[in-house]
């Protein structure tokens, strides 16, 4: 069993367009690739060929929370239904595996193709602040140590087009969001009723803060690409099939 990781002070990063007075607080798995791309296009006139937004965003425009003058910036971010975000993380970073964040995942005991129930149990052994950022609860990004919101506007991934229009209107600028890194879904992920209840518990504060609806497993399975697992047999129950990995 890996050593329990130390919880360090959270480092929040804002991706800024200073001339436009806009600052985006990154929350991974919530359209961050598209949003960072839009912010970068406002700061860089001619991005180079093969631009990699997560690696190549100009560092002079990435500002730590304690250095950001909130009076000079309109700060915003986008959030996502907690279960949908968790499923996206599991497909992309655990089943798909991501070498770039392998050390952070392994530090909390997450390994490649880990069963979803085992992942939930592993996360439950750590405080939310210690989770790797792609699976870290959203309230950890959104609330300061004093409990204040770290942004001026919260958009929702589920209504991206409308909320992005509100961002540009409130900020007084024109920015095309574009669409990048859309994840293809493959099959349904089996999860037991007990594990689903544990998962709701892990993200309880996100549901409370963000106002997303908590639903039963049968409805969640339809919404989020899950399938109810038969706890006695360890296989899927009802419609759908587990993903081929």
What tens digit of pLDDT does each residue of 87-144 get? 999 999 999 999 999 999 999 999 999 999 999 999 999 999 999 999 999 999 999 9
Q: Is the pLDDT of residue 6 over 70?
A: no
**Which of the four pLDDT bands, split at 50, 70 and 90, describes residue 223?**
very high
CA–CA separation, 210 and 142 (whole Å): 10
What pLDDT shows up at residue 144? 92
Q: Residue 175: what pLDDT?
A: 80
Judge residue 110's burial from the number of C-beta atoms within 10 Å of its C-beta, 0-12 exposed, 13-18 middle, 19 or more buried.
buried
Per-residue confidence (pLDDT) for residue 134, from 0 to 100: 97
**More reliable by pLDDT, 214 or 2:** 214
| Selected residue with higher pLDDT from 222 and 187 | 222
Domain boundaries, the chain: 13-80+138-171, 82-137+183-237
DSSP 136: S
11-70 pLDDT, tens digit each: 689 999 999 999 999 999 999 988 988 888 888 877 666 677 777 788 899 999 989 999
Give CA separation, 165 vs 81, 150, 158, in Å: 20, 21, 14
Contact 88, 185 (CB under 8 A): no
Residue 106 has φ and ψ, to the nearest 5°, of -65, -25
3-state DSSP assignment of residue 185: coil
Q: What per-residue confidence (pLDDT) applies to 148?
A: 94
Angle, nearest 10°, between helix axes 217-224 and 82-89?
60
Residue 10: pLDDT band with limits 50, 70, 90: low
Q: Would you call 24 helix, strand, or coil by DSSP?
A: strand
pLDDT confidence band for 232 (50 / 70 / 90)? very low
Greater pLDDT, 243 or 177: 177
Residue 7: predicted pLDDT:
47
Alpha helix locations (H) across 172-216? 193-202, 204-210
Query: Percent of the chain beyond pLDDT 90?
Result: 69
Average pLDDT, integer, range 197-208: 98
């Amino acid at each position: 069993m890996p050593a329990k990781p130390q919880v360090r002070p959270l480092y929040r990063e804002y991706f800024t367009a200073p001339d436009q007075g806009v600052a985006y607080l990154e929350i991974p798995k919530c359209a961050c690739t598209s949003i960072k791309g839009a912010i970068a296009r406002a700061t860089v006139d001619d991005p180079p060929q093969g631009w990699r937004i997560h690696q190549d965003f100009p560092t002079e425009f990435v500002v730590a929370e304690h250095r950001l003058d909130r009076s000079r910036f309109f700060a915003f971010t986008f959030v996502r239904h907690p279960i949908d975000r968790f499923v996206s993380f599991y497909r992309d970073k655990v089943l798909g595996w991501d070498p770039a964040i392998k050390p952070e995942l392994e530090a909390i005991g997450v390994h490649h193709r880990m069963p979803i129930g085992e992942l939930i149990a592993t996360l439950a052994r750590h405080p939310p602040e210690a989770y790797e950022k792609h699976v870290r609860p959203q309230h950890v990004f959104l609330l300061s140590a004093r409990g204040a919101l770290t942004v001026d506007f919260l958009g929702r991934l589920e209504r991206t087009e409308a909320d992005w229009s509100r961002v540009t209107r409130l900020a007084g600028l024109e920015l095309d969001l574009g669409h990048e890194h859309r994840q293809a879904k493959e099959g349904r992920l089996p999860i037991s009723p007990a594990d689903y209840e544990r998962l709701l518990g892990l993200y309880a504060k996100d549901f409370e803060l963000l106002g997303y609806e908590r639903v039963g497993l049968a409805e969640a399975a339809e919404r989020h690409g899950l399938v109810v697992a038969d706890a006695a047999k360890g296989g899927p129950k009802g419609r759908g099939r587990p993903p081929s990995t």
